[in-house]
A and B are shown apart, each in its own frame.
Chain A
């Protein structure tokens, strides 16, 4: 396995269900991220983890709960979601993101397309 792997690729869940999204990176990166992409909107940052410590929570509702057990794995636990939470959820990783000439941005996973019914 190489790059950033996300599972599942597609998920349909009811509003009372609990599910988890999984992300794994094989790039040796230090930082991992969850982004949400809804139709007609820019990618919205949800959470940032650096060396498995959460460094940013972008005012995300508590029905989304991230977990980062180590630098290579990231989870997003979902419970009692709403239909408006239906979106593409993208995981990404990066090396030390302090900017500058060597900044190589993110590598994204293929995403999980979530539908809440």
Chain B
């Protein structure tokens, strides 16, 4: 199983800021892409799927660049409640998902 790489952070940003996370994956045959959010001592929860055309859900925008094997997540107008670890996740083939180590975000007042 190949690598999913993320900058672990932490990213410390003030409320209202825009923050971007990047992720690279090594398997060019990867099929599906996701961002998960994990709060401290909790389970990961699906934040959004990432589609080739890019997709937006409120303040969150995800982009996929298959040629560069690169995924991004943009959070606009950060809230205190956005503080969490954001996991980049890739499905290569079959059923199993491959997780990055996560990027830690702390939004401060």
A residues contacting B by CB (< 8 A) are: 31, 33, 35, 40-43, 45, 48, 50, 55-56, 58, 90, 94, 97-101, 103-111, 113
Q: Which of B1-50 contact A (CB under 8 A)?
A: 1, 4, 31-32, 34, 36, 41-46, 49
B49 touches A105 (CB 8 A): yes
* A42 with B102: CB separation less than 8 A: yes
Chain B residues positioned under 8 Å from A108 (CB to CB): 43-45
Interface residue ranges, B against A (CB under 8 Å): 1, 4, 31-32, 34, 36, 41-46, 49, 51, 87, 89, 91, 93-102
Known: A43-B99, A103-B32. 11 other contacts (CB 8 A): A42-B4, A42-B100, A45-B1, A45-B97, A94-B95, A97-B97, A98-B31, A100-B32, A110-B43, A111-B42, A111-B43
Contacts of B89 in A (CB 8 A): 105
- Which of A31, A42, A50, A56 has the most chain B CB atoms inside 10 A of its CB? A42
Give, as a whole number of angstroms, the nearest-CB distance from B20 to chain A: 21
| Residue numbers in B under 8 Å from A58 (CB-CB) | 1
Report the Cα distance A105→B102, complex, angstroms.
17
Q: Which secondary structure dominates chain A's binding surface?
A: loop
| Interface contact B44-A101, CB-CB below 8 Å | no
A82 to B49, CA, bound (A): 37
Q: How far is the CB of B64 from chain A (nearest CB, A)?
A: 12
Query: Contact: A104 with B49, CB < 8 Å?
Result: yes
Q: Nearest chain B CB to A42's CB is how many angstroms away?
A: 5
Instruction: Select A42's contact among B42, B96, B101, beta carbons within 8 Å.
Output: B101
Output the nearest chain B residue to A50 by Cβ-Cβ distance: B95
How many whole Å from A34's CB to the nearest CB in chain B? 11
Minimum CB–CB distance from B107 to chain A (whole Å) comes to 22
In contact, A103 and B49 (Cβ under 8 angstroms):
yes
